[in-house]
A and B are shown apart, each in its own frame.
Chain A
């Protein structure tokens, strides 16, 4: 576990979100510290994506507070989230196939030199960024169309870093990747942590979660169902929290006992 600062860079306090008759999120709590990888896990429909979208500004929250570096903020548009320093890498990577790697990294925020796109500086910075992240791609001037799935994923993550974010949200970054590509992406997640970024990692893959995450936050049916430090928690405990297997007569009895003991 890496050092964790006292004030979380991003904190959700009692966040709720409704879509019509569906209560998608109920009183959800989440904390992300700088230099911490928080894995967000849960079954399909548990509210992972909705939670991430509230942070990214796609869906404004109905109730609760989002705190940024200890201060409450309102995130109503994707633009607000970007302004704070939240970068999101969605599952569909949304890269332009016809543009080269440099063009994609800087899309929408090209560097200018006397009003003209400064290809040279962009290329230089892109090479530096990719080499500090140890990302291997054939060339920074190759169109995205000719890259493999894993390479596209790392380019998409690198793209999120161009704007110097403080929190990076990765939505299923290893889904549909091969063994080597998954390893590359997980390496990259660790390098994000070394750069003192807060990382929220959504994953269905427990091996990935155990490999890189510091904390596992479990969502079940739109509610918190436990938050565990990864190194003291077994695979089975996490799975149990995801599936709700913890919620049975035995655990309830145990819970009552500890409550009574506390009195």
Chain B
């Protein structure tokens, strides 16, 4: 949202933008503009605004100001990631090996899908506690469809996801139309849907899903983009870089044509360059292991699509508006209950998709699918990535960055053979830490006039 605000420059020097206050108005007014006695040229830009200096120094001062103002953005994530990777690498030098990093990239996709749905709900300032249970129920439903009813796997996939959407919409309906707090509705869902899953699994406890073809194979551990071709990973990285560059330069051209502030070319090159380094580095690491897993590719594709929906469509704007001020959204003609119901439906849908990813990981539906700390991890991922629990602020990329942190911790603890008790305590601590950072940054944003 605020991407362009970083580059807004004062254009009081541009002659085209300058406008004189008419003398006629001055005569009629009994109250003269207090700070404007000479009828000086008035520009849109307030002269008191701190304007970013040109060049690298400008970036640095702007960056410092933002951090002081509590706009931490992705800084906690990056710092957290560096700390976590350093600690685990020091404890076990297999941690930063290609195979382990590849593992992280594969296993983060499932919980990441839940986190994408949660970002929508968090943007409304609400919470969905049912995503873990819904994901477990989805994997069981899929197994029942495919194994017990010998349905076509792809049809089963569609039905499963639709069920997830329906469940989410039901939560949303109770919240938006009846007025039950979202926290309670989804807490009921957390228990209820988990119960339904246990009932469906019955005494057997586990249903094995054939994994030689269909969606479960696609999401499985041995399914890779372009069948492990070396070029595949680089193709993806190249695609990301080229599309980002085209998008950025296209936007710059349109903004320049329209005469509004645009990003300087050096900044675009810097951004695209950074993305290129990161993505090609990741591609080469994954190629050193066994390639890019299809689960990761689907996760990334979902991120790109959802990011577009949130930032570039009227629906996304409505979600942000409802998260920022319900009354304002209502007065602007936005159908608030509809936005709420659809957001919970989206959350339920992504939970079901995440459940399919879990099913793909184990090629089975089990009693503990979506249980344990799945929900906590998904919430922690979204919040650590920078999406505020208080609504209205955040991006869907926080699901990716947060999951990197969370999955690194999980994989690292597994690598060190820590048992579940320690894992739970550490995950709880990380979630608390993320929320504390969110709350503190919100406080300092208020102090800096940005809350």
Which residue numbers of A lie inside 8 Å of B, CB to CB?
A: 79, 90, 92-100, 103-104, 107-110, 112, 115-117, 119-121, 123-124, 127, 130-132, 134-143, 145-146, 179-180, 182-184, 186-187, 190-191, 194, 207, 210-212
How many A-B residue pairs have C-beta atoms within 8 angstroms? Tell me.
153
Compute how far the CA of A138 lies from the CA of B313 in the bound complex, rounded to whole angstroms: 26
Most buried by A among B28, B258, B260, B312: B260
* CB atoms of A117 and B313 under 8 A apart: yes
* CB atoms of A107 and B332 under 8 A apart: yes
Q: Does B266 have its Cβ within 8 Å of any Cβ on chain A?
A: no
Q: Of B30, B32, B46, B327, which is within 8 A of A138 by CB?
A: B46
| Complex contacts, A135 vs chain B, CB 8 Å | 44
Whole-angstrom distance between the Cβ of B119 and the nearest chain A Cβ? 14
* CB atoms of A141 and B312 under 8 A apart: no
Q: Would you list 8 pairs from A and B whose C-beta atoms are within 8 A, ordered by A residue?
A: A103-B321, A109-B333, A116-B312, A134-B21, A136-B46, A138-B48, A179-B34, A187-B25
Compute how far the CA of A199 lies from the CA of B21 in the bound complex, rounded to whole angstroms: 21
Whole-angstrom distance between the Cβ of B386 and the nearest chain A Cβ? 14
| Complex contacts, B19 vs chain A, CB 8 Å | 131-132, 134
Whole-angstrom distance between the Cβ of A101 and the nearest chain B Cβ? 10
Question: How many residues of chain B have a CB within 8 Å of chain A?
Answer: 54
Interface hit among B2-10, B128-136, B358-366: B2-10
Whole-angstrom distance between the Cβ of A95 and the nearest chain B Cβ? 5
Q: Does B148 have its Cβ within 8 Å of any Cβ on chain A?
A: no
Q: Does B393 have its Cβ within 8 Å of any Cβ on chain A?
A: yes
Supplied contacts A98-B391, A123-B258, A180-B34, 12 more A-B pairs, CB within 8 Å = A103-B1, A109-B332, A115-B313, A117-B312, A117-B313, A117-B317, A132-B19, A143-B450, A180-B33, A182-B31, A183-B29, A194-B25
Whole-angstrom distance between the Cβ of A142 and the nearest chain B Cβ? 6
Interface string of B440-451 (1 = CB under 8 A from A): 000001000111
Asked whether A100 and B5 contact (CB < 8 A) given A143-B450, A179-B34, A187-B29, the answer is yes
Compute how far the CA of A107 lies from the CA of B320 in the bound complex, rounded to whole angstroms: 10
Q: Of A97, A119, A123, A183, which is within 8 A of B32 by CB?
A: A183
| Complex contacts, B4 vs chain A, CB 8 Å | 119, 123, 141
Q: Does B35 have its Cβ within 8 Å of any Cβ on chain A?
A: yes
Whole-angstrom distance between the Cβ of B250 and the nearest chain A Cβ? 10
* CB atoms of A141 and B314 under 8 A apart: no
| Complex contacts, A94 vs chain B, CB 8 Å | 325, 327-328, 331
| Complex contacts, A107 vs chain B, CB 8 Å | 317, 321, 328-329, 332, 334
* CB atoms of A99 and B327 under 8 A apart: no
Compute how far the CA of A104 lies from the CA of B392 in the bound complex, rounded to whole angstroms: 13
| Complex contacts, B191 vs chain A, CB 8 Å | none
Q: Does B178 have its Cβ within 8 Å of any Cβ on chain A?
A: no
Whole-angstrom distance between the Cβ of B113 and the nearest chain A Cβ? 25
* CB atoms of A141 and B44 under 8 A apart: no
| Complex contacts, B31 vs chain A, CB 8 Å | 182-183, 186, 211
| Complex contacts, B392 vs chain A, CB 8 Å | 96-98
Q: Of B43, B259, B393, which is within 8 A of A98 by CB?
A: B393
